[in-house]
Amino acid sequence: MIIPLGYQETAVSPNLNSSKASRNVEAYWSFTALDTGESIVLPDGRCDVILRFNIHSTTPPVPIITGPATRAYTVLYKPGDSWLGVRLRPCHGSLLWGKDITDAADKVLRQEEALAVMPTLAKLHRGGLSETALASAVEQCSAFSQAYQINEKLMEALDLVHLSAGRLRIENLAELVGCSSRHLNRMFQMAVGLSVKTYGQLVQFHRALSLISNQNMPITTAALEAGYTDHAHLSRSFKRFGSFSPSKLPDGLSQPGVLS
Amino acid sequence: MKLGYTIIYVANVPDTVAFYERAFDLKRRFIHESNLYAEMETGNTALAFAGDETAEMSGLAIRPNRAESLAAGWEICLVCDDVESAYSRAVDEGCTPISKPAQKPWGQAVSYVRDINGCLVEIASPVSSSE
């Protein structure tokens, strides 16, 4: 996996830090381009709060809020282009989007639309941009400061999806956490913004990609280990979530720190 | 090559260790401070427990061990002289009884329970002792 030069990520462990934002945030990340190029950002089913700016320019940062991503997108950059971002935990998409989360997949809000969702981002100016400043803006946002009851069944189901790398069916997941499939799917739609099936397929895709790119596993072997029926099934998943073929992995893939 | 460890992935490592101490009278060797790994005092071949999340960290995908699920197709066999009382103790402490102690033709007393994570545990007498 080729992660572009200048990409940095700090995972947030909810056990080590008990501040309000830390329970909602999965990672802080930043990327500053040193040259001209492009990078494919793979979908991870999470929502991000992002500030985009150029370190050589005085133009104010552009606030961006994304819905849960299910499609790859290509980012073009030139020297000095920078992104500072917060990746939310998958179950916290609804903190940003409220009821609109059910229709937020792959949506992107910029500028005023993003500020309408998180007005505290307007306080961030070019001079004082940092992880800490962004964390503080996120924490001060009213939606995040409200007491937020995390549904334990949803959290447990998400853990099980990751543990099985998307291979447990919704009926199994529902049985394990003790609710109906219909209720589980509804909880996913209302909090993550994706169906259980789509979220599981994303996790499955990331594991298969990791087996091929990090372990150099032959595609057919990786397909079976990741739970696809065959090579063609894996290829369709790669086309859908990555827009590339498993035999021709593009350079410049930016894989979020959520491998499986 | 020799068998080094048997490592079982579980939802809660400290709870599982405490349960194995109560239900099967095994002793803990240590629990790592992360609470994600522990070994029992089982001689040269360690019986160990690892937190579910460590499987994901290692790039594995697993069917989780849960009491609600069909048991995985393997078992731990614990050997003792008094199978009847070991079985009763295990069940009293919360194991699910599966098969009560029975005398096998080859001279072994054999019983089965499932632990709090749904793993199959056989409690049996040594094969040679009854002959």
Residue B61, chain A, CB below 8 Å: the answer is yes
In this prediction, residue A20 carries a pLDDT of 42
Dist. CA A119–CA A123, nearest whole Å: 8
In this prediction, residue A162 carries a pLDDT of 94
Contact (CB, 8 A) for A52 and A66: no
B2-58, pLDDT tens digit by residue?
A: 999 999 999 999 999 999 999 999 999 999 999 999 999 998 889 999 999 999 888
Dist. CA A44–CA A69, nearest whole Å: 6
Dist. CA B77–CA B118, nearest whole Å: 14
- Closest Cα in chain A to B61: A164
In this prediction, residue A254 carries a pLDDT of 61
pLDDT above 90 (res A28): no
Q: Would you place residue A255 in the very low, low, confident or very high pLDDT band (cuts 50, 70, 90)?
A: low
In this prediction, residue B10 carries a pLDDT of 97
Averaged pLDDT, A197-214: 95
pLDDT above 90 (res B111): yes
Dist. CA A15–CA A260, nearest whole Å: 20
Residue B66: list chain A partners with CB under 8 A. 176
Q: Which amino acid is at A103?
A: D
In this prediction, residue A257 carries a pLDDT of 46
Instruction: Give B83's contacts (C-beta < 8 A, 6+ positions apart).
Output: B101, B109, B110, B111, B123, B124, B125
- Closest Cα in chain A to B53: A163
Which uninterrupted H or E stretch holds B79?
Answer: strand B75-79
Q: Cβ of A160 and B64 within 8 Å?
A: yes
**Residue owning tokens 């853990």:** A159
B43-89, pLDDT tens digit by residue?
A: 888 999 999 999 988 889 999 999 989 999 999 999 999 999 999 99
Tell me the two tokens of residue B115.
């632990």
Q: Which amino acid is at A151?
A: N
CA-nearest of B10, B55, B34 to A13 is: B34
Mean pLDDT is lowest, of A130-144, B86-100, B102-116, for A130-144
For residue A226, give the 3-state DSSP assignment.
coil
Give the mutation candidate from B36, B60, B65, B70 for the A interface (greatest A CB count, under 10 A). B60
Overall pTM surpassing 0.90 (yes/no): no
pLDDT above 60 (res A212): yes
Q: In the predicted model, what is the mean pLDDT of chain A?
A: 86
Q: Would you place residue A4 in the very low, low, confident or very high pLDDT band (cuts 50, 70, 90)?
A: low
Averaged pLDDT, A177-205: 96
User: How near does any CA of chain A get to the CA of B52, in Å?
Assistant: 7
Averaged pLDDT, A225-234: 96
pLDDT above 90 (res B100): yes
Instruction: Give A104's contacts (C-beta < 8 A, 6+ positions apart).
Output: A47, A67, A68, A93, A97, A193
Dist. CA A43–CA A74, nearest whole Å: 11
Residue A210: list chain B partners with CB under 8 A. 59
Residue B52: list chain A partners with CB under 8 A. 159, 163
Q: Cβ of B59 and A160 within 8 Å?
A: no
pLDDT above 80 (res A192): yes
Provide the ipTM: 0.83
User: How near does any CA of chain A get to the CA of B84, in Å?
Assistant: 32
B29 burial type by CB count under 10 A (0-12 exposed, 13-18 middle, 19+ buried): middle
Q: Where are the alpha helices (DSSP H) in chain A?
A: 20-24, 93-97, 111-117, 131-140, 142-145, 152-163, 170-177, 181-191, 196-213, 219-225, 231-242
In this prediction, residue A151 carries a pLDDT of 85
Radius of gyration of chain A (CA): 18
In this prediction, residue A16 carries a pLDDT of 40
For chain B, the 3-state helix, strand and coil shares in percent, each to the nearest 5, are: 20, 35, 45
Q: Cβ of A164 and B63 within 8 Å?
A: yes
Task: Please report the DSSP string for A57-72 in residue order.
Answer: --SPPEEEEE----S-
Strand order in the sheet with B5-10: B5-10, B46-51, B37-40, B28-31
Averaged pLDDT, A49-78: 92
In this prediction, residue A7 carries a pLDDT of 73
Contact (CB, 8 A) for A200 and A99: no
Q: Would you place residue B130 in the very low, low, confident or very high pLDDT band (cuts 50, 70, 90)?
A: very low
DSSP-derived pairing of the beta strands A253-254 and A37-41: parallel
Dist. CA A117–CA A111, nearest whole Å: 10
Q: Would you place residue A258 in the very low, low, confident or very high pLDDT band (cuts 50, 70, 90)?
A: very low
